[in-house]
Structure 1
Amino acid sequence: MNKLELEYFAAELGARLKQQGWYLVTAESCTGGGVAQAVTSIAGSSAWFDRGFVVYSNAAKQEILGVKPETLNQHGAVSEQAVLEMVKGAIAHSRAQVGVAISGIAGPSGGTYDKPVGTVWTAYAFPNNTYAVRSYFSGDRTRIREQTVISALQRLLQGV
C-alpha cells in the first residue's frame, strides 16, 4: 500500500468532515481496524473521528452493533444485509453522522463458491444516504485488507 496515498485520502476525508461539522464512525471486521488506524494517524483527527468498532466475531456484531441473529443465519456476516445493519448500529452507538462498516473474506481460507476469498461488503452511511457495495479484491491477506481500506476511504470521500 502506498503510505502517501493512504495519508492523502485520510487527511482529505478529515478536512471535508471537519468542514461539514461531521464525525466518522467505523465498524470493521476483516480489516481489523485498518480504516480507524488510517484516519487516526492524521494529527487532529479527534475533531472529526468519533470512534471505531472492531467486531470480528458474529457475537460482537450482534452485541455491540445490534446485527440481528437471523440476518447472520440467513445471509452470513459477509453480506449486504449484515454490513447495512453494522453501519446503522455504529451510527446509533456514536455521535457520528458518517459511518463505514466492512465485512469480508481476506483469506487465505474461508472462501466459498458464492463468496470467494477477496469478497468484501462495505456499507456507507451519510446524513441523507446509506448503501452497500460488494467488491472483489485479489492478492494475499495483507493486500486484500489494504485494498479494502483504500477503497473505503475513497468512497467515503465521494460521499462527504
Structure 2
Amino acid sequence: MSPFPPDILARAKALVALCAERKLLVATAESCTGGLIAAALTEVTGSSAVVDRGFVTYSNAAKMELIGVEAATLDAFGAVSRQTAVEMVSGALCRSSADIAVSVTGIAGPGGGSAQKPVGLVHLAARRRGGAVIHREMRYGDIGRAEVRLATLGTALDLLSEAALQEV
C-alpha cells in the first residue's frame, strides 16, 4: 500500500510513463518537501528508468554546496523566493544527468512565516534542459504542514509534466 494519496500516486504514475515514453531523466531539488517528490516518483514501478537523482537542500548551506545557489541570491531575496527556486532548478540540471528538473522552496509552517512571506508560500520552478524556466508562486495558506507539503508535491508533479512536454 502506498503512503501517498491516490491522486498523487496517479499523477506520479502518469509522469513516469510520460518520461519513459519521451526517454527523459528527472531530478528534483527540494527544500520544504524534504524529498517527497523523489519519494512519490520512486513509489512507481519502472521509475528507475526515469529518476536520476534528488537533492534535499533544506538548509541554505545545502542549497549553495549541492546545487550552486549563490549566497548573494539568498542574501538579497531569501531562501523562499522566485530567484532561489530558479537557481535551484538550474543547479539540479547542471549537477545531474537529468533532462528535466523541478525545485521547491517554501514555508510549510506552522511557524516561520511573516507578513511578506506567510506560511503556505511556496516557490516552484521546473525546466527542461535547453528550455525556458516555468515558475509558480503558490499561496496555499496556513492549512497545516502536511497539507502544504502534499499540495506542493502535487504542483511539482504538474510542473514536471509541463516541462516534459516542452519542445526544445
- TM-score category, normalised to shorter length: over 0.9
- Give me the whole-angstrom Cα distance separating, in 1, the residues matched to 2:46 and 2:17: 10
For 1:1-12, list aligned pairs within 5 A. Answer: 3-12=5-14
Alpha-carbon deviation of 1:159? 3.0
Total equivalences in the alignment: 160
Q: Report what 2:134 is aligned to.
A: 131
Q: Report what 2:44 is aligned to.
A: 42
Q: Report what 1:143 is aligned to.
A: 147
Which segments of 5 or more consecutive residues in structure 2 lack a partner in the other structure? none
TM-score, structure 1 as length reference: 0.96
Identical pairs, percent: 41
Which segments of 5 or more consecutive residues in structure 1 lack a partner in the other structure? none
Contact 1:27 1:90 in 2 (8 A): yes
For 1:102-141, list aligned pairs within 5 A. Answer: 102-127=104-129, 128-138=131-141, 139-141=143-145
Contact 2:125 2:159 in 1 (8 A): no
Alpha-carbon deviation of 1:71? 0.2
Aligned structure 1 segments of 4 or more residues deviating by more than 2 angstroms:
none
Q: Report what 1:22 is aligned to.
A: 24
1:154 counterpart = 2:163:
no
Aligned residue among 50, 58, 61 for 2:60: 58
**Is the partner of 2:119 in helix, strand or coil?**
coil
Alpha-carbon deviation of 1:2? 6.7
TM-score, structure 2 as length reference: 0.92
- Give me the whole-angstrom Cα distance separating, in 1, the residues matched to 2:126 and 2:155: 12
Contact 1:9 1:157 in 2 (8 A): no
Q: Report what 2:78 is aligned to.
A: 76
